[in-house]
Amino acid sequence: MSSESGPISKGIVTTGSLITRDGVFMKGHGTFVENGEIYASITGTVERINKLVSVTSLRQRYSGEIGDIVVGRISRVGLKRWLVNVNGRQDARRKSASDELQMRKFFKEGDVVFAEVQSVFVDGALSLHTRSLDYGKLRNGVVCYVSPALVVRSRSHLISLHCGVDVVLGVNGCIHIGKHRVFSHLQVDSDNDEAYLKDEQSSLESNTKAGNSSTLPNNDYSDIYSDVNDDIDISTRTNISRVHNCIVILDRLFIRLNSTSINTAYEQSLQYFVPELLKQDVANEIAESRDNKNSAMTFKLLVNSVAYGILSRTDDLSAQRYTIE
């Protein structure tokens, strides 16, 4: 394949660097054409799908695609729509057809919503829907923002941890960590229950295509749109903050978020107090005491390697990779 299509740069390209002179290629995202030559407009790695050349960056803002699961905050309530800040190029819209009189009864400014991208407008604005019962308002928890590159689009964006905490990974880098609840439709990546609800995925997709006005059963209204937190006991609260801090650490280390990495980070964090986790000096202190097997350094490496299946045992890890900074 490569022999017939001429030279093309590989690896990292920086802004303005030449990718290929060959006219057979088409420009994709992150590139531009000048005099028939394709250049990179952003810094990242070159990717090629047949004739399409694109550059993907790890540092760009979220730009939506249909079917993305996002978490956002209502920034404005309009007459016929809610504006949702999804940390993207443009605020997203959640349209409503029938409920114009009581817009604030459903979502108010500041509410955290969990939705799916229904369509993308030409200017990059998104239209959202909350058509499944599992979408809608998020409560009983905290929100944190990570780099959007760390959340990859996957089959499941719901992670249910052992400790009674649910994590909702928005593709836009907005993450909700809250008390466990039961999701009736969406696929949950759960430790407790390996049974996936696969068939629901297809019904969701058909919903997206249909584009009808929202149809929610009346019986659950009060519960879905309630913004009063349930009683959360102290251990769940601690766990929520622990998971939050773990996610902040993973973000700082620039490690992809998925159920494995979050679980590993959580388990490794259990030996520290929650507020300790975010202190750089505490982490360093622990890292410097060499005889401490479970140092923060190994923690970092553990998360790194366990998450990606390089090593799975603490002992192996500390023996082999102790000198890395």
Q: Which residues contact 65 (CB under 8 A, 6 or more apart)?
A: 117, 120, 153
Q: Which residue has the tokens 């159920």?
A: 259
- Smaller CB separation from another protein, 45 or 318: 45
* Closest distance to another protein from the beta carbon of 39 (Å): 7
Q: Using an 8 Å Cβ cutoff, are 115 and 130 in contact?
A: yes
* Closest distance to another protein from the beta carbon of 246 (Å): 16
* Closest distance to another protein from the beta carbon of 52 (Å): 17
Q: Using an 8 Å Cβ cutoff, are 87 and 174 in contact?
A: yes
Query: What residue type is assigned to position 219 of the chain?
Result: N
Residues of this chain that interact with another protein (CB under 8 A) are 12, 14-16, 30, 32, 34, 39, 41-45, 57-61, 88-91, 122-125, 145, 149-150, 253-256, 304-305, 308, 310
Q: At what angle do helices 234-252 and 259-269 cross, to 10 degrees?
A: 110
Query: What residue type is assigned to position 47 of the chain?
Result: E
Give the count of beta carbons closer than 10 Å to the beta carbon of residue 240.
Answer: 23
* Closest distance to another protein from the beta carbon of 124 (Å): 7
Q: Which residue has the tokens 């400014």?
A: 109
The rounded distance, in Å, linking the Cα atoms of 325 and 321 is: 10
* Closest distance to another protein from the beta carbon of 216 (Å): 28
Q: Using an 8 Å Cβ cutoff, are 118 and 111 in contact?
A: no
* Closest distance to another protein from the beta carbon of 290 (Å): 23
- Smaller CB separation from another protein, 60 or 207: 60
* Closest distance to another protein from the beta carbon of 248 (Å): 10
Q: Using an 8 Å Cβ cutoff, are 262 and 251 in contact?
A: no
Give the residue ranges of DSSP H helices in the chain. Answer: 103-106, 199-210, 221-224, 234-252, 259-269, 280-288, 296-307, 314-320
* Closest distance to another protein from the beta carbon of 283 (Å): 16
Q: What are phi and psi of 144, to 5 degrees?
A: -135, 155
Ramachandran category for residue 194: left, alpha or beta (phi over 0 → left; psi -120 to 50 → alpha): alpha
